Structure 1
Amino acid sequence: MSKPIFTSKGSTAWLFKMAWRDAKASKGRLLLFMASIILGIAAVVSIQLFSQNLKDNIQGQSKQLMGADFIIDSNQLPNERAQAIIDSLKPDASEVNFVSMIAFPKNEGTKLVRVRALEGDFPFYGEMTTEPASAALNYQKDGGALVDATLMLQFDINPGDSIKIGEVILPISGALKAIPGSTAISTSVAPTIVIPNRFIAETELLQFGSRKEYQFFYKAPNLDLVLLEKQLDPMLDAENVDLDTHTSTSQRLGQRYDNVGKFLNLAAFIALLLGCIGIASSVNIYIKEKLTAVAVLKCMGATRRQSFLIFLIQISGIGIIGGLIGTGIGAVLQELFPFILKEFLPFDVEVSISLQPLIMGVLLGFFMSVLFALLPLIRTWYVSPLEVLRIGATPSEKPKRARLVIFTVILLFLFGFSLWLLNDWKFALAFVAGTLVTFAILAGIAILSMKVVKTYFPKRAGFTVRQSLLNLFRPNNQTLVLIVAIGLGTFLISTLYFTKDILLAKTEVGSASENANLITLDVQSDQLDAIVKTFDANDLKLIDNIPLVTMRMHSIKGKLVNAIRQDSTSQIRGWLLNHEFRTTYRESLIESEEIIEGEWTPVQNPEDPIIISISDNLAADAKVTVGDPIVFNVQGVLMETTIGSIRKVDWGRLQLNFSILFSKGVLEDAPQFNVLTTYVPDDESSAALQRDLVAKFPNVTILDLRQVYTIVEDILDKVSWIINFMAFFSILTGIIVLIGSVRNSKYQRIKESVLLRTLGAKNSQILNIAALEYLFLGILGSLVGILLALLGSLLLAILVFKEPFIPSAIPFLVFLPGISLLVLGIGLSNIRSVLRSSPLEVLRKEV
C-alpha cells in the first residue's frame, strides 16, 4: 500500500472538515442523536436550577419568614423555670395566638381565623404590610385590629368598621396584606387577625381545652444560633418549650419539599439515562452505515486514529451543541416552576441563573455523547480495509478489552451523576445496580426467547409465520438488541409513572355525604345538647361526637416523671413529660389506624385493669412497648394503665387522630369537652350554621373542611402539574429512544426484504413477516419492562419515598399496547422504501 496521504501539517484541519462534511450529509440520521441529548439535558438543568433557586431563597429569606432571629414557643403558659429562661434572654416581642371564630357586626358575617395577639415591635425582619400603611405602626396605640385583606373584601368590611373577637369588639385599623409566618395555605383556611396583646383576657376565649400558642421573639443578629440551640434546646425541651432559630426553620422548609425533590431528581436521572440509551442507539445506527466508508478511507491511506477521530469530533460537536440547546431550554423551563408553585411556597421565589447547572448541562452534553457513543464508535478502529472489497468481512481484532474499559467508565459516570443528584451513595449505587440488573434480565429473556422459538419452531406453519420466527434467531437477528432497548425504555418510563402515582396517591380529597366536612371544636359539656339542637335546627345530621379528655403522664414504667426529668441519662423524649395529652375513648379503630403490636380491646368494665392503645411514635419517644405500665394524672386523679396495643397512625389524613386511645367504659365520667362533626352540602348551609353557633357560643371553633379540601387540591394540582410535566419530558425522551432503537433494525432487514421481493414475495407477505416479528418483540420487551418497573417502584416506595404503593393499571392498559404498536409502526416504516421501489434500485442504493 502507498504512503498515507493524510499526514500533512494540516491533518487536524482536514479531520474537522471531514467531520463537518459528513455531518451535513447525514444531518437527518443525527436528528435522534441530537434530540436525545437536548431532552435529557433540558430536564436535568431545569430541575437543578429550580432546586438551587429554592435552596438559595429559603436560606436568604429565613429571617423574613420568621420575622426574628429565634423564637421560643410553648403550647401552654410557660412554667416558672421556663419563664425564667425566657426572661433571662430578654425577649423583644411576644405573642399568644389561637384559632377562633370571629364575627363582623356590620353584616353578621362569621369566619374561622387565627388571632395573633402581639406585644412589642414585631417583626424585626421583613414587613407587616397593611392598607393604610400607617395601620401597622398605630394599631397597638389605637387599640385596633388588623384584618386579613382578602377577608375584608369577602365580607365588604372597611377600616373603621368593627370586629367581634369573643366578648371584645374592636375597631378595624386596617387591612393586613402580609406578615411573617403566614402562607397562602394558612391564610386561606384561617385568615390572620392581629390585635394588641392587652385585649386577650377580655376576649374570654382561652378556656379549658383551648388550643393556644405562646411565642417570644428575639432579635440577635450577632448571636451564634447553632451554639444557642445546642445549649438551650435540651433545657427548654425538659420544660415542654421549644426553641426555633431561623436557620433550623430554613432546614425544615427544605424538608417539606423533600419527596417532590426526590421525584424530580429521579425524573432527571431517568431522562438522562434514556438520553444516554438514545445516544448509544442512534450512534450505533449511524456507525453501522459508515463502516464501509471507513474501510474506503483506510484503503486510501487514512490511519485508524484519523478515521476514529473524524467521527469522534463529529459526535463531540453534536454533544456540545445539544448540551447548549438543552441547557437553554432548561433555563427557560425553570422559570415556570415558581409561577406554578407560588401558593405552595411561603415566600416568592426570585429566579436567578447560576453558573453551576449551566456549565454542568454543557459538560453533560459532551460527556454523554462521547461516553455512550464510544461503544459503537470503537468499531471504526477495528474496521479492515478488506471490508470494502469483501462484503461481510468481520474485523480481524475483537475490541473486548476496549469495550470493558468503556463500560467501566460509563458505570462510573452514571454512579457519579446519580450521587450528585441524590447525595447518598447507597441510593446512587442501588440505582445503577438496578439498571444493570434490569439490563441483564432483559438480555437473559431475549436469549431465552430465541432458544425457545428455535427449539419449538413450528415447521408446518405458513410461510410468513415461519419467516418472521426465523428472523428472531437467524444470523443478524435483532432480538437481543431490540428487547433490551424496548424493555429498558419501557422500564424507565413505567418506573417514572409508577413513582408519580406514589407521590400523588394521597391527592384525592373527597367530601361524600357520608364523610364529615365541618368540625366543631372546643364544645364544653354544658354546651353539648344546645349545639346538637342547633345542628337539628339547620337540618344537619350529627355524624361524630368525639369526647376529649386532657391528661398528663405521672409515671412511666414505675418511674415518676419528675425523676425522669432529673435523670440526665434518660432516653425518654422530654416533650412528653410536660405535655398535656388530648385523648378519647371508643369501641373501634378508624381508617387511619392499624394495630402493629398487641391487641385492641373494644370495651372494658370499670373494675378491670385499664388497657390503652398508643401510637407508634409515642411508643418510640417514651421507650415503652406492649405490657408496660403508665400512670396518668387526669385532672388531679391518678389513673393506672397498661399498654395493650401499639397503632400505626396516618397523621396526614384530614381527620382527628390520637396518640393515646382508651376503650369504651373507662373515661365516660372524666372532665371532658367534645368535638362534633357534620356534613354541610353547600356554602349557604355552612354560613347559616356558623352564624348561629358563633352568636350563641363564641368559644367554639368551627373548621369547614371544604375550604381545606379546596386549598389542598389546588396545591396538589400545581405539584402534580410539575411532576407530570417532568414525567412527560422523560417519557418523550423514552419514545425517541425507542424510535431510534427500532430504526436500528433497518440496516439488516432492508436487504433481506429486497431479496424476498427478488425471489417473488408479495408486498403483503413482506409486511406480514415484518409485522409479526416487530409485534412479538414489542409485546415481549414492553411487558417485561413494565413488570420490572412494578418491582422497582415497589422498592422505591418502601426505601426512598416511604409511602404505600398501589400500582396503576395505566402502564398495562396504555404503555403495553401503545409501545407495541409504536414498535410495529416504526418497524413497518423501515421497509417502506423496499415496497415503493424496484429491487435493483434498492440494492444499488443500500449496498
Structure 2
Amino acid sequence: MAWRDGKASARKLVLFMASIVIGIAAVVSIQSFGDNLKKNIGQQSKSLMGADFKIDSRGLPNERVVQIMDSLGGANAKEVNFPSMVAFTNNSSSKLVQIRGIEGGFPFYGEIDTEPKEAALHYQEQGAALVDATVMLQLGVFPGDSIKVGEVVLPIAGAIQSIPGSSSVFSSIAPPVVIPHRFIEESGLIQQGSRLKYEYYFLANSGENLEAMEKALNPMLRTEEADLDTHLSTSRNLGRRYQNFGDFLNLVAFIALLLGCIGIASAIHVYIKGKLPNVAVLKCLGATKRQTFLIYLTQIAAIGLLGGILGTALGLLLQQGFPIILEGLLPVEVQLSWAPQAIFMGLTLGVFMSILFALYPLMGTLYVSPLQALRIGNNNASASTLSGVLVSGGVFVFIFLFSLWLLRDWRDAMGFVAGILTTFAILAAVAHFLMRGIKFYFPSTWSFTARQSLLNLFRPQNQTLILILSIGVGTFLISTLYFTKDLLLAQTSVEKQADSPNIILLDVQSNQREAVSGAIRNKDLSVLDDIPIVTMRIQNLKGTPVNQLRKDTTTQVRRWILNHEFRVTYRDSLTASETLESGVWIKEVAGEEEIPISVSDNFARDAVVGLDDKIIFNVQGVVMKTKVASIRSVDWSRMQPNFTIVFPKGVLESAPQFRVLTTNAPTQAQSANLQRDLVRNFPNISVLDLRQILNVVEGLLNKISWIINFMALFSILTGILVLIGAIRTSKYQRIRESVLLRTLGAKSSQILKINALEYLYLGVLGSLSGILLSLLGSQLLAWYMFDAPFVPSKVPFVVLFPAIVLLVLLIGLLNSRSVILSPPLDVLRKEGGAR
C-alpha cells in the first residue's frame, strides 16, 4: 500500500526530498572533510614537526634542562628562530621575516621543499640561505643573489616552497628564511629584548612511549621555563584549532538541514490533509490505526532514506573542492577518502529527521474515524495537542543532542539551540503578525489584484510561515557574515590620521634611541610613541612561589601567567585604548618598599588577583615587590602597543630595557624608504608595517567569508527548494482559485499580477526580516563582544536584498504558469469526477 500510494504521490514530495538532500550534503561534506583533515594531520604529524619530539625554550636552556636533554641521548638537531628585518642587496629591498638558524639533519621526517631541490641538502655546508619563494617572487630575487641578515651577508641557495614547523598563516606576515646556525651569533641580531626561541629536535627510540615521556618530563621542564612537545600532541592541538572552524561550518550546514526538515513538515501537513479521505476509506474496509499510520510512515522513511543516500553522495562529491577553496589555510596536503562515520551519519539523518519532523502531521491519520469517509471533520483536539507536545519535545532534544555531539560542550550546545529557537521564533512571529495584521487592517480601498494578493497570504494551506522562515534564515546567515566581517576589519583598521601610528619599530636598544629617532625625522616623519620596555617574570604570587603553583594541580591561576616573560612599561598616564576599572592610577613613586602597579583586567582574572594583592617580580635577577593598585580594561584590538602590566615612573628607569618607537608613513613609498634605511643602519630592529599585516588579515577574512558564504548558500538553496515545493504542493488549490476567478471575469494578466504581488510580498518580508535580524545581532556583537562602533555593510541592502526578492519572484512566476494556463473545463471535469 505504501508503494502503490507513494507512486501516485511521488511528484508532490520530490522537491521536499531535494531540500533534505541539500541539507545532508552540507553536513556530510563538512563532516567528511573534517574527518579527513584530522586523519591527515595525524598521519603527517611527524612531517609537520620534522622530528618525533622537541624541547623548546624562550631562552638558552639552563643546566637542569641540558641534563634532561642529555638523559634522552642529546638533541639530534637544534634551531634558534626569531623575527627580524633582512635586506636584499641586489635591489635594496627589505622585509620582515622569521629567521630560522638550523644545525644538524633537521627535518628528520618530511623535507624542506626548495627550488632547486639540492639547495635544501647543501645550504649548511655552503654557508647559504634559503628564502621563502613568495618573497623572492614579490621582490624579484633569484638564487645566487645575496641577503643581508644583520651583519652577515649570505648567498641565496634556493627558494623555500614548504618547510616543517612553519605556519602558513604566520608565514604570510613573517615568511621563513633558513640560515646555518653558526651565523646567528655573527649576525649581531641577538640583543636585549630579542624574541628568541630555542628548539631542540629528537628522534625517539623504537617502541618508546612518547605520551608517557611527555607526561613525566613536562612538569620538570616547565619549572625550568622549557617545554616538551611530541608530534602526537602537536597534531592534537592543531586538529583542535581547525576543529573549531569546522564545528562552526557544521552548524551552518545543520541549519540548512533544519530548514529542509521544516519544509518536510509543511509538505507532509498538506499531503496528509489531502489523504484523510483515503484513510477513512481504508478504515471502513477494516484497516487498523496502526496499519494506516505505518503506510504513510513507510513512505516518509523511504523518502528520507533516498534523500540520505543522494545527500551523502553529493556531500562526498562536494568535499573534493574543499582543498582548493581552503588552499593556504590548511597545515597539510589533504588526501581525501570516504569517511565511514560521515556516510553513516548522512544515511541515518535522512531517515531519522524526515520521520521526526513528519510525525506531528502523520498523527492526524490516527484520529480519523471511518465516518469521515462521508464527511471530513476536525481531529481530536486534545490528542493532537498531546502529540504536538511530545513530538516538539523530541525535536528539541534531538537538535540539542546533535549540537552537543558537534560542539562537545553542553553550554555551547544550549547557546546554539537558544539562538536557533530565537531566530526561528522571531521570523515565525513576523509571519504570524503579518497575517493577523492583514486580517484586522485589510486595505479595502486597494485595487482588486492588490487585495487578492494580500488575501493569498492567509488563505487555507498558505505557505507564508514556511517561506518566510526559509528565506529569512538564509538571508540572516549571509547578512550576519557581511556585517561581522566588516566589524572585524574595522577593529583592525589603521586610521588615516597623522597621529595614528602605522609603523612600529621593535627592539630599539637604549643606545640607538636618539639615532633611530633622528632617522625617522630625517624622512620628514614624526616619532609618535617612544615606549620603554622591561622584561620580567613573576616569582611569587600572593605569597606563593611560582614553582609551587606550577606543581599545584588545583590552582585556578592560568598556566601562561606562571610561565610568561612579561614585557612591561612605565608611564604616568593612561592611553586611548585603556579605561580604569577600579583602584587608583599612580603616576610616579619614589623609594617605596611595595611598588603600586596597574594590571589589565584579563591578567587580574587569569592570575586571580585583586586590588592590594602582592606580586613579586624577577627583573633580570633583581627581585621587585609590588602590589596591585589599579585594574584597567584594555582594547587589545587597537593597532598600537598595549601592555598587561604598567609600572609608575620612578622605578624602572635604570633597569635593562629596550624601546618601541612608532611613526606614521602616509604612503607606501615613504614606508619602504624608511624601512630600507633602518635595516641598513640598524639591522637588529624589526619593523612592523601595519598596512601589510592588515592586507594579510583582510585576505584571510575574505577567504574564510567565502567559505562561510558557500555554506550559507545551502540555506538559500534549501529555501528555494522549499519555495518551489510549497508552490507545487498547493498547485491544485491555486488552479481551483484561478478557475473561480476566471469564472467571475478575471483575466489571465490579473491572475499573473496577483501571484507576482504575493511572491513579491514574501520575498521582501522574508529577506528584509533576515537582514534586520542580522543587523540587530551584529549590533549586539559590537556592543558586548567587540566593544566597538558598528557601521553596517551596504552589501546586504544593495545586493542581497534585491537579489533574493527577484529570485523569489522569478521562481514563483515560473512555477505558477500552469496555474494560469490550465483550462477551466479540465478542473471542473476533475471536480465532477471527484464527486
Is the 1:547–1:673 contact (alpha carbons within 8 Å) kept by the matching residues of 2?
A: yes
Match of 1:498 in 2: 480
C-alpha distance in 2 between matches for 1:488 and 1:159: 57
Q: CA deviation at 1:260?
A: 2.1
Q: 1:284 to 1:99 in 2, by over 3 A?
A: same
Match of 2:129 in 1: 145
Gaps of 5+ in 1: 1-13
Is the 1:750–1:831 contact (alpha carbons within 8 Å) kept by the matching residues of 2?
A: no
SS of residue matched to 2:611: coil
* Structure 2 residue 193 is matched with structure 1 residue 206: no
Q: 1:253 to 1:554 in 2, by over 3 A?
A: closer
Match of 1:72 in 2: 55
* Structure 2 residue 515 is matched with structure 1 residue 530: yes
1:360-401 CA distance string (max 9 Å, x none): 2233223333333343344445555655654x5456898636
Match of 1:10 in 2: none
* Structure 2 residue 356 is matched with structure 1 residue 360: no
State how 1:56-205 maps to structure 2 within 5 Å: 56-89=39-72, 90-154=74-138, 157-205=141-189
C-alpha distance in 1 between matches for 2:87 and 2:456: 78
Q: CA deviation at 1:406?
A: 4.6
Equivalenced residue count is 824
C-alpha distance in 1 between matches for 2:14 and 2:537: 70
* Partner AA of 1:349 in structure 2: V
Match of 2:408 in 1: 423
1:547-596 CA distance string (max 9 Å, x none): 22233445544566688789898765676567543212345555654544
Match of 1:734 in 2: 719
The 10-residue stretch of structure 1 (405-414 or 745-754) with the greater mean CA deviation from structure 2: 745-754
State how 1:196-595 maps to structure 2 within 5 Å: 196-220=180-204, 222-292=207-277, 311-380=296-365, 382-383=367-368, 389-390=374-375, 392-394=376-378, 400=384, 406-432=391-417, 435=420, 477=460, 482-483=464-465, 486-487=468-469, 490-491=472-473, 493-494=475-476, 497-498=479-480, 501-502=483-484, 505-507=487-489, 509-514=492-497, 515-553=500-538, 555-557=540-542, 576=561, 579-586=564-571, 589-590=574-575, 593-595=578-580
SS of residue matched to 1:136: helix
Match of 2:705 in 1: 720
C-alpha distance in 1 between matches for 2:92 and 2:691: 21
C-alpha distance in 1 between matches for 2:484 and 2:259: 21
* Structure 2 residue 3 is matched with structure 1 residue 16: yes
C-alpha distance in 1 between matches for 2:276 and 2:701: 53
Gaps of 5+ in 2: none
Match of 1:32 in 2: 15
SS of residue matched to 2:131: strand
Q: 1:422 to 1:584 in 2, by over 3 A?
A: same
Match of 1:9 in 2: none
The 10-residue stretch of structure 1 (106-115 or 195-204) with the greater mean CA deviation from structure 2: 106-115
Q: 1:554 to 1:748 in 2, by over 3 A?
A: same
* Partner AA of 2:77 in structure 1: A
Q: 1:842 to 1:823 in 2, by over 3 A?
A: farther
Is the 1:753–1:831 contact (alpha carbons within 8 Å) kept by the matching residues of 2?
A: no
C-alpha distance in 2 between matches for 1:100 and 1:823: 55
Q: CA deviation at 1:324?
A: 2.6
After TM superposition, the score normalised by the length of structure 1 is 0.83
SS of residue matched to 1:350: coil
The 10-residue stretch of structure 1 (527-536 or 575-584) with the greater mean CA deviation from structure 2: 575-584
The 10-residue stretch of structure 1 (823-832 or 150-159) with the greater mean CA deviation from structure 2: 823-832
Is the 1:598–1:626 contact (alpha carbons within 8 Å) kept by the matching residues of 2?
A: yes
Is the 2:457–2:464 contact (alpha carbons within 8 Å) kept by the matching residues of 1?
A: no
The 10-residue stretch of structure 1 (255-264 or 741-750) with the greater mean CA deviation from structure 2: 741-750
C-alpha distance in 1 between matches for 2:494 and 2:454: 59
* Partner AA of 2:26 in structure 1: A
1:130-160 CA distance string (max 9 Å, x none): 3444443433334333333444455555555
Match of 1:643 in 2: 628
SS of residue matched to 1:626: coil
Match of 2:673 in 1: 688
SS of residue matched to 2:337: coil
C-alpha distance in 1 between matches for 2:280 and 2:297: 16
Q: CA deviation at 1:247?
A: 2.2
Is the 1:504–1:720 contact (alpha carbons within 8 Å) kept by the matching residues of 2?
A: no
SS of residue matched to 2:44: helix
1:253-307 CA distance string (max 9 Å, x none): 1233354223202112101100101111223333344445556666788776666
C-alpha distance in 2 between matches for 1:576 and 1:713: 31
C-alpha distance in 2 between matches for 1:158 and 1:814: 45
* Partner AA of 1:530 in structure 2: A
Percent identical across equivalent pairs?
Answer: 54
Match of 2:32 in 1: 49
Match of 1:604 in 2: 588
Q: CA deviation at 1:205?
A: 1.7
Q: 1:587 to 1:749 in 2, by over 3 A?
A: farther
C-alpha distance in 2 between matches for 1:750 and 1:346: 57
